[in-house]
Structure 1
């Protein structure tokens, strides 16, 4: 079947978006593919349409539960019933059922950790898959080496099994990250499609403060007088909670979001935001990946992100409807030191390496370090992975190198933040591309008129009506 016929048949669309057809054609030619397509450009259609044409199950490795659930729900809205998510939301009984009938599903979503479970791998080895997808593939480079080493094990499994083509999807990635993806996943001479990383409808603001305390006042006044929906990014869970409380007291429909909440709570908050029941999310960088909300008008960073990749991913959540949106980066002296502290806070140290080895020499379990509170669960997971791969001295050198790379990434972000030239051109250049055209209200350095982008929030919108439950029930019963 021709792709132009398959597209309207399965999805009702008449034309492909840039990159979709090229990626699908490569998959159908059984090529491995790395596709960099901006969020909102229909990345998921690349594997969904391929799955329908191939008429074989598609395995999608997804990094976050919320992202996985969103993708499952999207497919169900299109009428697809043969879709399943293998994740921690399933009960033991549900998981057994899903595994038993796994070959009958058309789309199988799972996490890197679930994929590596022996019973899951055994079942998958019995199924003739049509395609394997690694969604948000930049996580391999950004998380795999120092946060979720199971991402690195995915490639080991790929190299041990007879597999179909692999599609690695992401919104943004540098040349180094693309190489990490290809090497880690053991891709075979992959076809690469790189879309322009610039989002001209996102206008780049920047505000510098002499005093950190002035930031809080600026944020409160700005959010009170301008329209959302928006995301305010903070560097810690504690600060997210504090800002959320201040905004709620100011009458803003707001919720905090961070990894300290349970999966179901995070899913509920995200859905409230998507449904328009919340105007602002006050979050750590745990929020936003894969969120399907096209009308986000503002992204504010209270402090400097740890690297340019994170910044581009986070501001890219705004304006997916093509309408004007604004990303405002706030800065005060010392923000870069905070960023360096945060990004290396969970890295194991040379002392942890020696302690791990000491316990092994005493024939004790290194997991005692975790039980004793000597390091975090994330740090132990990373330490345990690398000490099973390399020598003590190699691991020490690797950890030092990881810390240096993180420091350099913060310095790159600071350089772009403090440039006197066009901020947009600098960001695009970081990803190895060249800015083709500057939009109106381009950035702080080129000139930006906030009042042309930020709509003033109407007084009526600020009021949160407290309707008695009897009145709400009466409205529901009467169909109002």
Structure 2
């Protein structure tokens, strides 16, 4: 038994590597930059956790979400690893100072792109030995950096001090354009690219065009109350997540809603309830899902057209991690195309916002996100170049939404089109493929007994006490 196999079995409890894992790990160990694109559930965490034990120094993991960091930290602790820390805004000033003073004692250091910009944190990192750097959910560099969190684009400057350290970029979905963005931003040198097929044969795809919102609601209630979960219902509207949850609760469904404007304590509690099986369904915006480790999600339902095929693939990829049959459904109306564009654009600076931002005396109050975006681009581009950049981004966003709408409207296999978007070909159709090919819903679903739940609204502390 070689050393990699020995660590895989003794520390992680697996008998064999999954496809691609050994090759990627060997490249990391040889000091190469690596871009690894593997579907959700293919064991991406192992790709940086295992080689960490064969290289001196700490592994720095750049992660997009606080919940994702915390989940990774808990995973490692469950494996018996105590030398792990997440340095982010969750920590108080005192906790952060304590963590930074003990930085050289950690094997795994998780942080955010924003925290990476902190000058004192950068100094502390420079004083310790870094084995290699990981960019988790690396598609966010391209999809979020230009128009949502420019600190992703600042990663390049932060990495200048670590040019001698190799970088591993991990994601579940990326087009060729996104891969180029990742490699450029992470200063990669002739990176090895491992691109696994993005096909998830155990996820069947279906789409239904409906006439109005009432028809959507009726469909959702019928599907959820007559089929098995667990499942996630995605909506672009925070109000709709609450509305769906309330209507389903009336039918005795164990369900909760989730969105970014909720209290942090409530969100953590709902995630835990769903992961532990106390809830069967979650009605959520796209704020829910990244970093959620639940193997048996059977259904993903979208009540709208997502803002891109890549986003859609990320969200449906949360189903069928256990390799058992699941289904992903899109309910849509023609007007959802304009709504999707509005949602995608709502934080984008208009031309007049850009003109205001470039004036020396900015008296107009912009949204926090818009201000953050423009603060970054003011330092990088001229006013006209920034206007041109966002015109291109707007056109790109519109094309991405239209591509998904066209995919739903035509008669071509949904699975084939999803893969073609990422430059891949479908080699074998599963028995239950999509609503345009073959789909036996009776075979996919099993009727389950309805259970009644107490739908009395409690505050989060009361609900936590009732669970414990």
Structure 1 length normalisation: TM-score? Answer: 0.93
The residue that corresponds to 1:391 in the other structure is 382
Equivalent runs, 1:125-136 vs 2, <5 Å: 125-136=126-137
Deviation at 1:268, TM superposition (A): 1.6
Cα distance between partner residues in 1 of 2:51 and 2:191: 17
**Aligned pair partner of 1:447 in 426, 434, 438:** 438
The residue that corresponds to 1:299 in the other structure is 300
Q: Assess if the C-alpha contact under 8 Å between 1:202 and 1:318 holds in 2.
A: yes
The residue that corresponds to 2:168 in the other structure is 167
Secondary structure of 2:16's partner?
coil
Please state if 1:369 is matched with 2:364.
yes
Please state if 1:181 is matched with 2:182.
yes
Cα distance between partner residues in 2 of 1:465 and 1:237: 23
**Aligned pair partner of 2:420 in 425, 429, 439:** 429
Please state if 1:417 is matched with 2:408.
yes
**Aligned pair partner of 2:395 in 396, 400, 404:** 404
Cα distance between partner residues in 1 of 2:205 and 2:236: 20
**Aligned pair partner of 1:463 in 452, 461, 464:** 452
Cα distance between partner residues in 1 of 2:280 and 2:364: 42
The residue that corresponds to 1:113 in the other structure is 114
Please state if 1:74 is matched with 2:80.
no
Equivalent runs, 1:52-67 vs 2, <5 Å: 52-67=53-68
Cα distance between partner residues in 2 of 1:214 and 1:175: 38
Deviation at 1:133, TM superposition (A): 0.3
Q: Assess if the C-alpha contact under 8 Å between 2:249 and 2:455 holds in 1.
A: no
Cα distance between partner residues in 2 of 1:415 and 1:266: 35
Cα distance between partner residues in 2 of 1:191 and 1:20: 13
Secondary structure of 2:153's partner?
helix
Q: Assess if the C-alpha contact under 8 Å between 1:201 and 1:325 holds in 2.
A: yes
Secondary structure of 2:40's partner?
coil
Cα distance between partner residues in 2 of 1:175 and 1:36: 11
Equivalent runs, 1:149-228 vs 2, <5 Å: 149-228=150-229
Query: Deviation per CA, 1:348-379, whole angstroms, max 9, x where unpaired?
Result: 01101111223x1xxx3x4x533xxxx31111
Cα distance between partner residues in 1 of 2:406 and 2:156: 34
Deviation at 1:466, TM superposition (A): 9.0
Deviation at 1:446, TM superposition (A): 0.4
The residue that corresponds to 1:248 in the other structure is 249
Deviation at 1:211, TM superposition (A): 2.8
Deviation at 1:116, TM superposition (A): 1.0
Q: Assess if the C-alpha contact under 8 Å between 1:57 and 1:107 holds in 2.
A: yes
Cα distance between partner residues in 2 of 1:72 and 1:105: 12
Equivalent runs, 1:276-355 vs 2, <5 Å: 276-355=277-356
Q: 1:66 to 1:466 in 2, by over 3 A?
A: closer
Secondary structure of 1:11's partner?
coil
Query: Deviation per CA, 1:416-435, whole angstroms, max 9, x where unpaired?
Result: 11120111111111111110
The residue that corresponds to 2:460 in the other structure is none
Q: Assess if the C-alpha contact under 8 Å between 1:182 and 1:190 holds in 2.
A: yes
Secondary structure of 1:457's partner?
coil
Query: Aligned pairs, how many?
Result: 456
Q: Please say which of residues 293-302 and 443-452 is displaced more in the overlay.
A: 443-452
Q: Assess if the C-alpha contact under 8 Å between 1:61 and 1:110 holds in 2.
A: yes
Cα distance between partner residues in 2 of 1:103 and 1:62: 20
Cα distance between partner residues in 2 of 1:339 and 1:162: 40
Cα distance between partner residues in 1 of 2:162 and 2:63: 20
Q: Please say which of residues 70-79 and 50-59 is displaced more in the overlay.
A: 50-59
Query: Deviation per CA, 1:363-407, whole angstroms, max 9, x where unpaired?
Result: x3x4x533xxxx311111101110111100000111111111100
The residue that corresponds to 1:47 in the other structure is 48
The residue that corresponds to 1:98 in the other structure is 99
Deviation at 1:160, TM superposition (A): 4.1
The residue that corresponds to 1:472 in the other structure is none
Secondary structure of 1:84's partner?
strand
Q: 1:152 to 1:466 in 2, by over 3 A?
A: closer
Secondary structure of 2:380's partner?
coil
The residue that corresponds to 1:138 in the other structure is 139
Please state if 1:6 is matched with 2:7.
yes
Unmatched segments (≥5 aa) in structure 2: 457-464
Deviation at 1:39, TM superposition (A): 1.4
For the aligned residue pairs, the C-alpha RMSD in angstroms reads 1.5
The residue that corresponds to 1:18 in the other structure is 19
Secondary structure of 2:283's partner?
strand
Secondary structure of 1:178's partner?
helix
Unmatched segments (≥5 aa) in structure 1: 468-475
Secondary structure of 1:328's partner?
strand
